[in-house]
Amino acid sequence: MTQLVKLPALIDPHVHFRTPGASEKEDWHSGPKAAIAGGVTTVFDMPNTKPVTTTYERLLEKKTLIDAQLAEAKIPLHYRLFFGADRNHFDELYKLIDPSTNKPITDIISGVKVFMGSSTGDLLMDDEPSLDKLFKICAELDLLVAVHAESEAMIRERTAQSACDDFPCHSKIRSPEVALSALQQAVVLTRKYGTRLYALHIGSRLEVEFLQAAKQEGLPIWIETAPHYLFMDTRRYQDLHGKAQMNPPLRDPADREFLWEAIRQGIIDTVGSDHAPHSQHEKEQGYCKCPSGVPGVQTTLPLLLDAYHQGKISLEKIIELTHTNPKRIFNLPDNDDHVLVDLSLTKVLTKEMLFSKAGWSPYEGLELTGWPVSTTINGQEFKL
């Protein structure tokens, strides 16, 4: 029996649509199709493109390219762009302020992204003086700072000391302690300057408990987790191999269960897909060559709806994590976008259903109950 429910459209605050510079992996034709198929009508794209988005000129060039591709795709997707933190371009941060209002140009940018640990792309800021200066400037300009929090020094030290070369090593080298070290540094700077801090892709109990304590101080901190930490853990290396590799990596089963409890308690604020597509060929390479990242913008909602049927999460909490909280945190304008879901619909996820150029999903073969059947954006309905 069909059970249709209307939900607010999802806001995904964490995607990598790979344009410019890697359009063979994703672009603003394929990425928006995957988003719409997942009930997502607003995305925040990350700056680790080629070239990296670290100057105002590049930001505008990227926006022009995106607008052209969206027009070609005939999908009026809402988007914001994260600006890349770069120790050589601090002066560019001041260009993100509208002189007429003396406030950030929030119709374009969602905040400043800093990679405290190395990941895909050429952005890395791991030295204390640069981080201190970044947090100070962003506090002065009221720019939110989103952190990829992993200690680069610890990653390098553990990599040099590690003799293993298989995928489970990834979770050991980039352990929760590696993430905690960087988070501690970020929170010290948040406490020092009052900078708004958005902690990206948090996956372990150690990180959540530390950030929870910092939030209880009254610090302006928000916690994002990602679907892969909620629906996968380190056991998946056995069958997925490189398709289970991402930064930060998968955590232990106990961490996964703790995340669900943290969601129920309202400690975690948002779920961002961290949609980071790579080709199947790339992901089939050995550990040392395999790039990190998994696609996910299309599958976040079906996974959460299936979790609803399992009693892990309420529909109200899904709305809070994927719409209400990101809208409030990033001060987004109101709209009437919505997604119609059939809570009774059960389907097996197959690669033929996917719109991302990646052409694969770590959740292939899962039987999920609860699927989007149409997404409406700006009054335009897309039947799925």
| Contacting residues for 284 by C-beta, under 8 A, at least 6 apart | 241, 242, 290
For 383, counting Cβ atoms within 10 Å of its Cβ (0-12 exposed, 13-18 middle, 19+ buried), the class is: exposed
Q: Among 12, 274, 337, 342, which one carries the catalytic annotation?
A: 274
What is the spatial distance between Cα 285 and Cα 281, in angstroms, rounded to a whole number? Answer: 7
Phi, psi for residue 355 in degrees, rounded to 5:
-105, -20
275 closest CA partner among 364, 358, 346: 358
Neighbours of 220 (CB within 10 A): 15
Q: Three-class SS of residue 152? A: helix
Catalytic status, residue 274: yes
Which residues, including other chains, have CB under 8 Å from residue 23's CB and lie 6 or more apart? Answer: none
In eight-state DSSP terms, residue 384 is -
CA-to-CA dists, residue 292 to 68, 166, 222, 284, angstroms? 29, 14, 24, 12
Sign of the C-alpha dihedral computed for residues 262, 264, 265 and 268 taken in this order: positive
With a CB cutoff of 8 Å and minimum separation 6, the contacts of 238 are: none
Q: Which residues contact 83 (CB under 8 A, 6 or more apart)?
A: 47, 53, 54, 59, 92, 93, 96, 109, 111, 112, 113, 143
Q: Which residues are catalytic?
A: 274
